[in-house]
Every structure is written in C-alpha cells, then in structure tokens.
C-alpha cells in the first residue's frame, strides 16, 4: 500500500471512530513524521526503532506531552490499523506538573469591561461563567441554552461526551439581544461571514481583551475555564459537582484546582516582617 493510501486509511478509520477533528489532525501529523523516520513500514512494531524515534524528539527539546502524543498515535496505528498482536511496550514519558493559570475576579472584570463589541463580550463572559472550552463556545447553538432552567447542553464535548453546565443568570438579557430574530439552529457566536467563529478568532478576542486590560499573567482562553472551576471551589461548591460541570471523567483532574485555591494557605502570612 502506498503511503498516501495508508494515510487516507488511517484518517478514515479515525473519523469512523468519531475522533475529534483536532485529534485526527494531530495523529496524522505524528504518524507522517514517524513514517518519514522509519522509512520502511511493517505490520509489526519495532520497539527499538520507536524508542530511537522518541529519544530523538527528546534530544530535540520536544515536551513530554508532545512525545506522549506521538507514542499514543504509534500505538494506535499498530493496534487498530495494522492489527498487530505485538503490543508496543513503551511507557509514556513523565509530564511536568504545572498549576493552571487562574485569573482573579477583579482581573476577569477588567478583561470583560475592556471589550466593546457586545458579541465578543458575551463570548468571554459566558465562557468564564459556564466553564466552556473554546471549541464548546464556538459550537454552541441557540437551542442548546435553556434560559428558564439556566442550563446549557454541551454536545459532543471532549471525548464525544454530552454534559450539562450552568448558564449565568446575569447574561440572560445579553443572550436574548444577540439571539433575537435568529433561528434556534444558529450558532450563538456566528462570524460576520456566516457560520461559526474559528477557535483562533475566539482566542484572539481573549488575547486582545487581556492586553487592553493590561493583565500580565500568562493567561489563555482556557484560563477562563480554569478560573470558573477555581472560583466555584472557593465559593464552597462540592468538588464532585465541579467535576460534573467541567465534564472531567476522573476527579483527579478536577482536584488540580484545589492546589490553587487553598483558603488555609492564603491565610498564612510570610515570616518576613
């Protein structure tokens, strides 16, 4: 089988398995690089070749997350595409434990207040107030929001899972204004050319607002979701409810936020007088 045919077969298989477009793109990128490295593609994996490939990435300064993504794609290829009975017995690289960047309530207020465009202001406000990923925000449709129940039905989120999250009551009026005279199947945040905003456009809106508000933190659009989770925990919401609202499969993922919102820690004063 020619390389182009093999790549197309992998792409079709990933799509049939309902992998997200981003995962499909990432796996194909990783596997193209891997195939270029090994040159001769066989049905059975060669552990030493794979290790050399991953070590080369490490020597090239690639992060643990990137190396793990490549290993994941390689494992998928031999297991699901080549149907190899030989497992790729290589452990994933240890990843650095980083705390999420969380914005304070005052910083968020400054960011939101710096936005003049009503649609952009609602995009950032709702993404924080409901804990949305950027992909979830841009794919949100008018029919997904229940203003009576103050809930949002997030469809086909990460891992192709649906979930319900909360809708901030203070945004009811803003949403009604933007959704007026529009069809329930329309995207809430449609672009000027029709259709939905791109992820990059949404991220750029946040970046511009952060810069205009003169926020120095290394925050991204995803920091809105980090801040949502952290502030809920600070408000005394049970961590299992926060886990459900975020759509985390494992509570250990949610527990990361307890490291940045420990009230007892904040009450400790430095010994420097």
Q: Is 70 a catalytic residue?
A: no
Q: Which two tokens stand for residue 253?
A: 């993922």
Q: Is 257 a catalytic residue?
A: yes
Q: Taking a C-beta distance cutoff of 8 angstroms, is the pair 132, 138 a contact?
A: no
230-264 confidence digits (pLDDT tens): 999 999 999 999 999 999 988 988 998 888 876 66
Catalytic one of 133, 196, 226, 231: 133
Closest to 141 in 3D by CA, of 68, 208, 101, 197: 197
Closest to 98 in 3D by CA, of 262, 256, 263: 256
- Indicate the DSSP class of residue 190: B
Q: Is 196 a catalytic residue?
A: no
Q: Mapping DSSP to helix (H, G, I), strand (E, B) and coil, where does residue 134 land?
A: helix
How far apart (Å, rounded) are the C-alpha atoms in residues 127 and 231?
A: 14
Q: What is the pLDDT of residue 264?
A: 67
pLDDT at position 74 over 90:
yes
Contacts of 10 (CB under 8 A, 6+ apart): 27, 28, 31, 77, 81
Catalytic one of 119, 153, 155, 248: 248
133-187 confidence digits (pLDDT tens): 999 999 999 999 999 999 999 987 776 789 999 999 999 999 999 888 889 999 9
Q: What is the pLDDT of residue 63?
A: 87
Torsion of CA 211, 214, 219, 225, to 10 degrees: -90
15-24, 98-107, 197-206: segment of lowest average pLDDT: 15-24
Q: Is 252 a catalytic residue?
A: no
Q: What is the pLDDT of residue 210?
A: 97
Catalytic one of 196, 225, 226, 231: 225
Catalytic one of 158, 163, 172, 204: 158
Q: Is 210 a catalytic residue?
A: no
Q: What is the pLDDT of residue 159?
A: 67
* Percent of the chain surpassing pLDDT 70: 96
Q: Is 153 a catalytic residue?
A: no
Locate the DSSP E strands across the chain.
Answer: 145-146, 151-154, 163-166
The number of residues in the chain equals 273
Catalytic one of 222, 231, 259, 266: 222
Domains and CATH numbers, the chain: 3-81 (1.10.150.130), 105-263 (1.10.443.10)
Q: Mapping DSSP to helix (H, G, I), strand (E, B) and coil, where does residue 187 land?
A: strand
State the average pLDDT over residues 11-31: 92
């Amino acid at each position: 089988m020619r390389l182009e045919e093999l790549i197309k077969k992998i792409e079709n298989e990933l799509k049939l398995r309902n992998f997200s477009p981003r995962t499909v793109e990432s796996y194909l990128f990783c596997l193209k690089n891997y195939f270029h490295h090994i040159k001769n593609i066989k049905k059975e994996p060669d552990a030493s070749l794979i290790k050399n490939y991953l070590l080369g990435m490490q020597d090239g300064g690639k992060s643990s997350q990137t190396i793990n993504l490549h290993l994941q794609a390689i494992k998928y290829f031999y297991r699901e595409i080549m149907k190899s009975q030989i497992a790729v017995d290589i452990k994933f690289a240890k990843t650095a434990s980083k705390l999420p960047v969380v914005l304070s309530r005052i910083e968020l207020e400054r960011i939101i207040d710096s936005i003049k465009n009503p649609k952009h202001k609602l995009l950032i406000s709702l993404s924080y107030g409901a804990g949305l990923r950027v992909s979830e925000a841009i794919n949100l449709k008018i029919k997904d929001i229940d203003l009576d129940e103050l809930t949002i039905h997030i469809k086909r989120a990460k891992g192709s899972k649906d979930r319900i999250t909360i809708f901030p009551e203070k945004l009811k009026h803003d949403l009604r204004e933007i959704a007026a005279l529009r069809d329930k199947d329309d995207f809430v945040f449609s672009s000027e050319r029709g259709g939905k905003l791109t992820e990059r456009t949404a991220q750029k809106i946040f970046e511009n607002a952060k810069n205009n508000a003169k926020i120095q933190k290394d925050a991204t659009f995803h920091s809105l979701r980090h801040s949502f989770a952290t502030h809920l925990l600070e408000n005394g919401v049970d961590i299992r409810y926060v886990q459900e609202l975020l759509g985390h499969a494992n509570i250990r993922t949610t527990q990361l936020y307890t490291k940045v919102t420990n009230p007892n820690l904040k009450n400790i004063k430095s010994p420097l007088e």
